[in-house]
Amino acid sequence: MNAPRRTKIVCSIGPASQEVDSLVALIEAGMNVARVNMSHGTFAEHSTTIDNVREAARRTGQIIGILGDLCGPKLRITGLPARIHLVKPGDQFMLSEGDPEEDVDAITITPLGVLTEVARGDSIAFADGAVRGLVQERNEHGVSVLVTQGGSLSIRKGVNLPDSHLSIPAMTDKDFHDASFLLEHNVDFLALSFVGSASDLTIAREFMLENAHGPNIPRLVAKIERRDALGRIAEIMDVADAVMVARGDLGVEIPVEEVPIEQKRIIHLANARGKMVITATQMLESMISAPTPTRAEASDVANAILDGTDAIMLSAETAVGSYPVDAVGQMDRIARATEQIVTDQSLTLLTHPVRAIHSTADAIGFAAADLSRNLALKVVIAVTESGHSARTISRYRPNVPVVGATPDEFAARSLTLSYGVIPAVIPRSPSTEVMIQEAIDAAIDLDLCETGDLCALAAGIPFGVRGTTNLVKIQVVGEGFLSIGDRYQTD
């Protein structure tokens, strides 16, 4: 039996990977979740991409999640005077929110209302930090900027105000429109960019509840890429289902030397709260144009896994790169090699749990993971309606695979970001015993166990009631599940 990789791989889909055959190749190389970036492309293009991902999943027989990534209030250059393309230290220019066709002497930006919150002495960065400056003064026309680090500027380049406490909401009119589209297409995860506080997530969740097409609500991912978010990370995690360490803009908002430390802190806090966490941006950046990664990139991927991340993400590498399949393959191999030592290190999570057990589900998850270390188990099988049982077990990092067996296809796809969880869709039955046997059969079909192997079963009795994980049992595969009584059958 070939042990499955436990760390999940998220791939951004774009021109280099959006065709069905390319997506099949990405899945076969190890992709678990496809990211649809709403910053680029049209609804028609995104609709085709989503359809193609689902067709590729059908062809490969794999359960693949789809993550819709909203743009958020990204500050961008909209107008650039002809004389201002290459700036050097000591240069000064005006920055405004005017019409680029009318305000021809200033660099114009969007969205509106940002520059009123900028103060003298605030730092400002352009083009992912390639150009930097300081605000000299503010007037009715905008702000005057003194260049401290020179470089080239162009239309659509990003703007960051790391010292300014901006009150702009995380969802723009475009984001609400895009979110409606993604809900209509039943995506599994919705990522919110430039989150500043828990209220941003509350607004997004309320919108999803009001506009969802049916009962399926995407898992909400908070992208941590603003300085303000770092100081409110606990409250953000309390509302989010998952977080993303979005190191691109975060590395502009804070000094680059602080990014690795914040990455470790965010991942640790997410692990402590049982939240899924994705590490993203420039993980294998050189593979946009090269067939192999640098040694530093390989170390970056490995260290994110050692930090405790659930998932690692590829951006331009798979969206527009020359070697998208190779990038996934390299990431897969690095993850597998790293996981060989993670299993031993994660014993610390069990002997010194990072959060007290507050519920029956926590206790069952802890016990199932603990059993995986003290007995010769082949697999932990969680029979789950919503996926919560499997996610709870995943948090304690058992040293064997976790099968998240559910009759709900949407719930199965929601497990595609959870470390060590292999989702499986099983037939629904009114009998708990039948459901458990179906789950064991699914684990056998996945080649994770065979007759005579020892496994741990976790479930909620009665089945079908969300949040009732209350059973853990050791089972020999093939011996049949001991009846637990007709009183536990569901309608």
Report helix, strand or coil for 147.
Answer: strand
35 belongs to the catalytic site: yes
- Give the whole-angstrom CA distance, residue 101 versus residue 108: 10
User: One of 5, 6, 35, 157 is an active-site residue; which one?
Assistant: 35
Size of the chain, expressed as the number of residues it contains: 491
Angle at 76 between CA 86 and CA 49, to 5 degrees: 120
CA-based nearest residue to 106, from 117, 97, 114, 119: 97
- Give the whole-angstrom CA distance, residue 464 versus residue 481: 18
H-helix segments, 212-292: 227-230, 233-239, 247-253, 259-273
CB environment 88-99: b (16+ within 10 A), e (fewer):
eeeeebbbbbbe
275 belongs to the catalytic site: no
Strands 65-69 and 377-383: unpaired
223 belongs to the catalytic site: yes
- Give the whole-angstrom CA distance, residue 243 versus residue 253: 18
76 belongs to the catalytic site: yes
User: One of 76, 264, 273, 336 is an active-site residue; which one?
Assistant: 76
Residues in contact with 23: Cβ distance below 8 Å, sequence separation at least 6, in sequence order? 13, 17, 31, 34, 52, 53, 55, 56
Q: Cα 491 from chain centroid?
A: 36
User: One of 7, 108, 279, 281 is an active-site residue; which one?
Assistant: 281
Provide the 10 A C-beta neighbour count for residue 344: 10
User: One of 5, 205, 223, 378 is an active-site residue; which one?
Assistant: 223
| Catalytic machinery residues | 35, 76, 223, 281
